[in-house]
Structure 1
Amino acid sequence: MPTSDRKRESLSSLQKEVARLKRAVEELSTLNDLARSIGASLDSQQVMRTIVNRSLRAVNGEQGVITLVGSGEASDTTTLIRTQLGSSEHTKFHLDRALLGWMFLNRKPLLVDDPRRDERFRGVKFDESISSFICVPMMVKSELRGVLTVYNKKEGRGFSEDDERLLAIIAAQSAQVVENARLYEEEKQLLKIREELRLASRIQTDLLPKTCPQIPGYDIAAGTIPADQVGGDYFDFIRLDQNLIGLCVGDVSGKGLPASLLMANLQATLRGQALLTPPPKECLSRANRLLFRSTGEEKFATLFYAVLDTARHSLCYSNAGHDRPVLLRQGRPPQRPTAGGIPLGMVEEWIYEDESIELQSGDLLVVFSDGVREAVDSRGEHFGDDRAIDVVTANVHLPAQKLMEVIIGAVRSYASGSRLTDDMTLIVLKKL
């Protein structure tokens, strides 16, 4: 071989080696820069955005996406970050289900230069703007926790195997950091939920009466048993005048702090209207109008409201969509008073009905929330109305407080081994 050819060959080899070393230095610099940028952060959004931006710069891509996946389910996915460099007019790509399924099966880097001609994805419709892409898995302890995808090499060129290798290294290096940030934010969210539940429970407790009215000729008991999730149950007693006392059991929609705030709103609204308009049907119509105007969509409440006249020994009630109470009278089968209307807050205007009951010695009224009826056993079957009525009927002779405890005990025994998912709230009224 002539000396000039050998020199050219040596020069070419040297240039290739210099280029390889230069790329290696650039890759190392990219990885070190990425490690410094994300290593100290526990903000998942910031971590993800940094990873995608560094990846795009490293391989000169147009747009990048990180898709988080759940624990082992291809259907449990979240596109957490979508970032692009350059024109904002580019289509916002996302990881196709077929690609995600491929990644779940193979769990290795994927480089596609022409998606529409790739036999592995025949039949998959890709956006026409996509000319090439690289997908790399983000693995944590052999589990696929995310996928980093970069689309379209700039200047119309295709991605190289070196690009694929570098993105695979970036994904491997950053996967645990992403997982740590995700776990940290889950813990923060859990602490926030716990604090909200604590506040909700406190609001609920503070709003409930501390004692039941002591009225000659009557035996009254009331209580709330909170479930695992704080609901919107409440009960109340409202002194209207010397002889009239309002009593109610309500259940607002939702759980946690929003439900407790709605419950506080309902209690204040009802108390204000009860003092102005004693007849239950008028009170509920006005309370319904105010609640509708002061709450958002899908916010409503069921409510049983009654006024006890201790001089006339009568009870006038109206029921806004609440579970029907149980009325037991000597020598008669159990009754389920029905007068009323729809739950409060569903429509702005509604005319409620009410009904008066003349109370006699031995009469018993039990008002309860749907947490009693909807308690489930290990087979998922509800406690139901019939069981509730049977328990009340079998224990009608007991004092009000004891009867309430027996009802609660029966529900808990029935649901033994199952979580109570809704509060149980009761008022027991006996005419002595």
Structure 2
Amino acid sequence: MNNDLHKADNIQKKNEFQIINNMFFSSKKKDPIKVIDTKNQDLELITKMNQELARSLDLTETLQDSLELIIKRINAQAANIFLIEEKKQVFQCIASKYQSYLEDFEIPITQGVMGKAVYNKKCIRVGDVRKDVREIAEFYFDLDNKTNFTTYSVLCAPLIVSDECIGVIHCLNKKSQSKLFEENDRKLLETLSGPVALAIRNAKMAKDMVVKNRIQKEIEIVGEIQKTLLSKNSNGNFPIAGINIPAKVVSGDFYNFSEISEGIYGFGVADVSGKGIKSSLLMSKASSLYRCLSKTIFSPAKLLNILNNEICETTTRGMFVTMLIGIYNKSKKELLLSNAGHEPPLIYSYDKKFTNFTDAGPPLGIAPKVEFVEKRISFEKSSMYIFTDGITEIRDQKGDMLGPEGFQNYISKYQNIKNNERLQKIIEDLISSGRIQKDDLTIVTVDGE
């Protein structure tokens, strides 16, 4: 009997222990908490953005798509991209999502979170724009009023390429109960700003290259048009020939010659000051005027008077044209010449002596109402060489200029060759000698019988 009581007591104690153990140490097994791998999500987002930006043909559309991806990942209410306009020193919006009218405003680059992000070259997070007055400037609230938007929290990352800040990417308002961005959001936007900045810079470089190529094409077209304004050399027995080798695509030199009537020939050679498009445009104007007027006016001095007055009225201050105009009368064996500040032409006579025609007035475009004079000289068994300063100022590798004397040596060397071939030989010899061309090379020769 005692033995049965002892067994019952042990069973009761065991049951009580099990109950207590279950109460304190046993619980129902819970399902494991699912942890979202944001790092993989961020890596996928960065990869996708890089691919989209790299193959984009329409940067504006791609930036809009990128902003949409960023908004979804960061859970922002709005986002936009501002670039720095260097001349004005302002931010200009080039892409925006869910905030309107930003393209209508220019924001000084010294103001607000955007200005601070650019200055410090780091991504800035403003938790609450109404409390953290150290980070936010008044213009944000002014911009809210103009765009009908309410800003609570801001993320702003500078767009940096090669240590140069070209703009910012800007996110507004976390779509959460607090509406405030967190530090992880800031780090992510800082990472995403890199490929965006690189894509914008590459697109800008590509656009600049397209513009540059278009301008180059247009310059080449101008150069081709200019060539049509120059008189063509004759393969026959024509007493005048010319050659022009531009230093660049377009030229500031010009020449024209023609037979006015039987045995009477008119010619003009001009050099516009400076280089580049401005000079070539002025040259085109002067040459067109000369070609038109020389068909009805057979006085070199009168032609220069008219040209000078016209150029003085329309040319840019500081620009001028040197020009020599002449008429060769084959039967009378004489030249009628008038010079407006041009290089004195060289005359090479049959007895192998050189002389200069030194009479000259001021260049065209310097002073209006100048009365140019013309002079008649005998011209028999001689050749006159009218040239621009690019010929005499061409330098050898030591830096020494050719000069009039050096040019005379080339004339003497090739004088017995037909005029158009002669000029070609002179130019070829000049260039092949290693001389450095920095200006247009132009020569016109008139051969007298």
Q: Flag whether TM exceeds 0.5 (same fold).
A: yes
The counterpart of 1:93, out of the listed 93, 97, 109, is 109
CA distance in 1, matches of 2:269, 2:48: 62
Secondary structure, counterpart of 2:295 in structure 1: helix
Matched, 1:305 2:325: yes
Pairs within 5 Å for 1:135-174: 136=158, 138-139=160-161, 143-144=162-163, 146-149=165-168, 161-162=183-184, 164-174=186-196
**Which ranges in structure 1 are unaligned for 5 or more consecutive residues?**
1-13, 69-75, 104-108, 114-126
Question: Deviation of residue 282 (structure 1)?
Answer: 1.2
CA distance in 1, matches of 2:277, 2:299: 31
Name whichever of 335-344 and 157-166 sits farther off. Answer: 157-166
Asked which structure has the greater CA Rg, the reply is 2
Q: Is the 8 A contact 2:118 2:168 kept in 1?
A: no
Distance 1:410 1:55, change over 3 A: farther
Secondary structure, counterpart of 1:275 in structure 2: coil
Aligned pairs, number: 378
Question: Deviation of residue 47 (structure 1)?
Answer: 7.0
Which residue in the other structure is 1:180 paired with?
Answer: 202
Distance 1:320 1:92, change over 3 A: farther
Secondary structure, counterpart of 1:276 in structure 2: coil
Matched, 1:278 2:295: no
Distance 1:321 1:360, change over 3 A: closer
In the superposition, the TM-score normalised over structure 2's length comes to 0.62
The counterpart of 2:289, out of the listed 269, 274, 298, is 269
Q: Which has the higher contact order (CA 8 A, sep 6+)?
A: 1
CA distance in 2, matches of 1:45, 1:384: 56
Distance 1:202 1:393, change over 3 A: closer
Q: Is the 8 A contact 1:280 1:306 kept in 2?
A: yes
Q: Deviations over 1:322-380 (max 9, x none)?
A: 33322345586542524132234x55x2414234242343433211223323434456x
In the superposition, the TM-score normalised over structure 1's length comes to 0.64
Question: Deviation of residue 270 (structure 1)?
Answer: 0.8
Matched, 1:66 2:83: yes
Which residue in the other structure is 1:424 paired with?
Answer: 441
Distance 1:40 1:405, change over 3 A: closer
CA distance in 2, matches of 1:43, 1:378: 49
Identity over aligned residues, as a percent?
Answer: 18
Q: Is the 8 A contact 1:316 1:355 kept in 2?
A: yes
Q: Deviations over 1:366-404 (max 9, x none)?
A: 11223323434456x363434543434643743434542
Which residue in the other structure is 2:221 paired with?
Answer: 199
CA distance in 1, matches of 2:66, 2:382: 72
Secondary structure, counterpart of 2:338 in structure 1: strand
Q: Is the 8 A contact 1:231 1:423 kept in 2?
A: yes
The AA in structure 1 aligned to 2:261 is: D
Q: Is the 8 A contact 1:63 1:83 kept in 2?
A: yes
Q: Is the 8 A contact 1:375 1:421 kept in 2?
A: yes
Secondary structure, counterpart of 1:340 in structure 2: coil
Matched, 1:189 2:215: no
Question: Deviation of residue 301 (structure 1)?
Answer: 3.6
Which residue in the other structure is 2:423 paired with?
Answer: 404
**Which ranges in structure 2 are unaligned for 5 or more consecutive residues?**
1-32, 127-136, 141-153, 174-178
Distance 1:263 1:147, change over 3 A: closer
The AA in structure 2 aligned to 1:244 is: I
Q: Deviations over 1:64-108 (max 9, x none)?
A: 65359xxxxxxx999796339778777522699x998986xxxxx
